[in-house]
Every structure is written in C-alpha cells, then in structure tokens.
A = this chain, B = another copy of it.
C-alpha cells in the first residue's frame, strides 16, 4: 500500500476478495473428530487451512492483494519481508499472475523455506537477522524494484482476504458459538472479526496465543498495543506484534485472548496429528491447547477452529528431540 492513511476494510471488501481469489485457492474442508469432541466436551469444527495452496491461509490475503492490482500497478510486481508463510504465499500468488515477487528474508531463515519461495518463483534478497538490517534492505529493494509492498498482516487487502476463511467456515457448519484462531500479528483474527461481526455477530471470537509470546493477551488487557521484546516460542508464526489495523479489529471484536504453555502446544499438536491424521504447524495447535486448558469455557459449545498452516520441517518435529 502506498497510501499511509489507515483504511479499515469492510464486509464488501471481503466479499470482493472472495470472488477475486476463488480461482487461486482451495475451499478447504472442515474436519471433525469424535475423540477430540469427547476429550473437550465441546463440538469442534476444524477448518483445515493446512491443506490450502502454499500450505497456509496466508495465500488468501496475498492473492487478494496481488490480483487486486491494476495491470499498470502490477507491472513492477510485489515485495515484502517475511521468513514464513507470507513469503511463500505472496510468491505463489505473484507466480500465478506472472509478475515479479521480491522477498527480503534473514539469511538465517531455514533453507527449506528459501527453496520453497524460489520454487514458487519468488526472488530473495537476504538481510541480517535484525530489524535494522531488514528495514534497510527492504527499503533498498522496494526503491529499486518499485514493487507494491504487501505487508504480512497490517494491510486492508490482506485482512479482507483472510476474512474469506471464516465465511467458508460458517457456510460449512450449521451454526457456531465460537471461533478460535491463533494470534500473532493478528491478520487471521482481524479477517475473522471483519467477517463474523457482520455475518454472525453472535459468534464469540477467541484469540489463542503462546504464553511465551503473550503480547496480544497483554495488549488486550491493557487496552493498547504492547510489543514483546524478542519472544521465543515453538509457535514461530506467532512471534510478531499487533499493528494499528489489526489492533483495531482485536480491540473492537475479540471476546478474549487465551494462552497456552509450550508443553501444552506440543501436546495438542501431537494429539491432532495422531488422532486427526493431519500435518499442521505448532502455531495451529495453539487453539486446541487453549481449549484443553480452559475446558469449562468451551464445554457444550459448537467451536470453529482455524488450522492455519501445515508447513512443518518433518526432520525436526518438536516431540522427537
């Protein structure tokens, strides 16, 4: 976005996003598990974005940004900084449109992630693993390429795109009492708020966060953004802080932010793999971990859970250490 004024995306933006991205994304299935229902006392509906294109929900927002550009805007391509799923997703979307995608990644990012970005046609410029270096390198790349900056989450086009996920979830289930999704920068949660506050305002939205990266929980209680100083958690997609746009949605529409310990996250992750037979990231296990740690809050309820992604290093699983 070249415009620096904060534009709050609307429900109509989400509907337009859904039409725009439909050819490039999967309508992912919703799975259930009678074992996990019995264990939690709730009825759980898992929206499997681990089966999504590029392996994560982030392709929704990235595709909306890429395919919303005019032909003139699209010529110089897109650019971003990310060491995770946003880098993959933006590369995938740009590849589908046939425009350049430049990604600034720390040189310390896993080789597998770099290979995957390149596999989708993304071009990587490496930076040092510090905010200063990333910002300097990114400014240089953006100036050189003239590409449109697609922020991983603090971008109205991205949030409108992520909001398409809970629209599908509502269509695929017969009414829900709550939706629980992980919170990092807040892109998925903001999209969920955008959609549900209009479509099903009775549904409670719960954000789930690692205890060791609980900046959203502390922000929520304090009433203003608190950023963590270098949080460390196995749920590595959830280390980033809230920004103004995502804070807008979190502060206005989220019912609560619940946290889970590292052990609880790994246990919930392994339990889901074992019982539901799906490969998902540690970040995606945080909702179930918080539900298991707060059973009373969820007992008897119909609960939607967003499984955000499945890009895992199979050679370094957290229970095999």
Q: Is the CB of A72 closer than 8 A to any CB of chain B?
A: no
Task: Specify the chain B residue showing the minimal Cβ separation from A56.
Answer: B277
Q: From B310, B317, B319, give the contact of A277 (CB < 8 A).
A: B310
Query: Which interface class (under 10, 10 to 19, 20 to 34, 35 or more) fits A?
Result: 10 to 19
In angstroms, Cα B279 to Cα A93, docked, is: 27
In angstroms, Cα B136 to Cα A196, docked, is: 62
- Chain B residues near A84 (CB-CB < 8 A): none
Q: Is the CB of A315 closer than 8 A to any CB of chain B?
A: yes
Interface residues of A in 207-258 (CB under 8 A from B): none
> Could you say how many copies of this chain the assembly holds?
2
- Chain B residues near A50 (CB-CB < 8 A): 277
Task: Specify the chain B residue showing the minimal Cβ separation from A309.
Answer: B277
- A residues in contact (CB < 8 Å) with B: 29, 31, 50-51, 55, 270, 273-274, 276-280, 310, 314-315, 317, 319-320
What are 17 inter-chain pairs, A to B, with CB distance below 8 A?
A31-B51, A50-B277, A51-B276, A273-B314, A274-B279, A274-B314, A277-B279, A277-B280, A277-B310, A278-B278, A278-B279, A279-B279, A314-B319, A315-B319, A315-B320, A317-B317, A320-B320
